Amino acid sequence: MMTKPYGKPGDVTELVSSLGWMEEDLSSQDGDRTPEIGGRYRISGGSRSPMELGSEDMEEEEEDEEEEAGLDGEKAPKRRGPKKKKMTKARLERFRARRIKANARERSRMHGLNDALDNLRRVMPCYSKTQKLSKIETLRLARNYIWALSEVLESGQSPESHGFVEMLCKGLSQPTSNLVAGCLQLGSSPMLLNKMDEKCGGPGTGVVGGQQAHPLSYPSPGLPSPPYGSLEASHLLHLKGLKGTTYENPSPNECSNGTPPYDGPLTPPLSISGNFALKPEPSPHDTERNFTPHSALTAHYLSSHHYPPSSMGGLQGPQSHTLFPASRYELPLDMAFESFTPSHLVTSQMGTIYSE
DNA sequence: TAGGCCATCTGGTCCT
DNA sequence: AGGACCAGATGGCCTA
């Protein structure tokens, strides 16, 4: 996949040529994601670019000559801090090489972050490959989703209730709220559509998590038409069918849809849906923290194990001894959004999920 | 065209 | 020294 080229002004080629750089094939640093324009690497051309600063000193061949403050003027204010060493050619080259490597790492890091966000999007109540939630909306919805699910567990509120939808939509933008509301209204009037073609199980199978999924879609009046308003069926199905569901967790890689499998350690919220509970005994696979988008299974598990709501704050179940430090799992998603105080339910569950 | 969102570059800070 | 992480800056793309 080739991402869009950098939109930055300034072509490093000039700088490279001025330095005597060979045109490097930078693709080795970042795979196919290396941005190129016309085969040339582009970098920012900010006014403070060290490249430009350095280029002025390039003529200097003296090695590491210290600048004498006051050489250029008796009134010149003395600079504080470490004296800047002159950018010799060698130093400049090292600097650039470092910078390019750092840029590649940073790109890679951000791609990883985006991949994680994509994984998060996939477990949201409404997921569309074509109309992605923005990053901020994804986080907001995730927070609300956790909150709403905890309410389902704690108060027995129906996931089909108006309140559930309201919780999900709290603080979301209008379009996202419409999307979520539209998706969840499906719960009472599902329509069969082979939406699962783009989900797990391949075209027509509709198999999600070992169950026969009922692909849902929502042609909501006044709402953006699908796929904007498409629904990840498994969520609602599990929300609706918390009782008596036999669940076999598929491999995390089974739901790839052509996207890279998610094989890294899961962040706690994502792991709500892991097969944490149905295998009391740690298996060799437990360390992989299998992941499937069926968050409501947590509810299923907890309810089937008769965890009273009162115990959620200090989980008294068989695995309560494995609770993780609360500080680590206290929903950082809250962040700068409006005040949000979910029960400790989810936090407590995390300890269970991750018991090893 | 303004505003939202995004990808990227960059320099600073902290840590190993 | 080098990597991870972060926040600010910048510019492109898209949509209302």
The whole-model pTM stands at 0.49
**Whether A214 contacts A190, CB under 8 Å:** yes
Q: Give distance CA A57 / C1' B1 (Å).
A: 42
**Whether A232 contacts A186, CB under 8 Å:** no
Residue A142 in this model has a pLDDT that exceeds 80? yes
Give the per-residue pLDDT at A84: 55
What residues have CB less than 8 Å from A18, skipping those under 6 apart?
A55, A58
Q: Where are the domains of chain A?
A: 89-184
Q: Which nucleotides of C are covered by protein (CB under 7 A)?
A: 2-7, 9-13
DSSP state for residue A37 in the 8-state scheme: B
What residues have CB less than 8 Å from A5, skipping those under 6 apart?
A35, A36, A37, A42
Q: How does pLDDT run across A83-133, given as a tens digit for each residue?
A: 556 667 777 888 888 888 888 888 888 888 888 888 888 888 777 777 788
Give the per-residue pLDDT at A88: 75
- Length of chain A measured in residues: 356
> Which residue is closest, via its CA, to the C1' of C2?
A98
Q: Give distance CA A78 / C1' C8 (Å).
A: 27
What whole-number distance in Å separates Cα of residue A119 and Cα of residue A112? 11
Sign of CA dihedral A30, A35, A41, A45: negative
At residue A322 the predicted structure's pLDDT band, cuts being 50, 70 and 90, is: very low
Q: Which nucleotides of B are covered by protein (CB under 7 A)?
A: 4-12
User: Which residue's structure tokens are 């009782």?
Assistant: A243
What whole-number distance in Å separates Cα of residue A271 and Cα of residue A265? 9
Residue A80 in this model has a pLDDT that exceeds 80? no
User: What integer is the mean pLDDT of A174-193?
Assistant: 60
For A22, phi then psi, to 5°, come to -85, 150
What whole-number distance in Å separates Cα of residue A37 and Cα of residue A287? 42
Q: Which of A134-148, A161-175, A308-322 has the lowest mean pLDDT?
A: A308-322
What whole-number distance in Å separates Cα of residue A274 and Cα of residue A289? 6
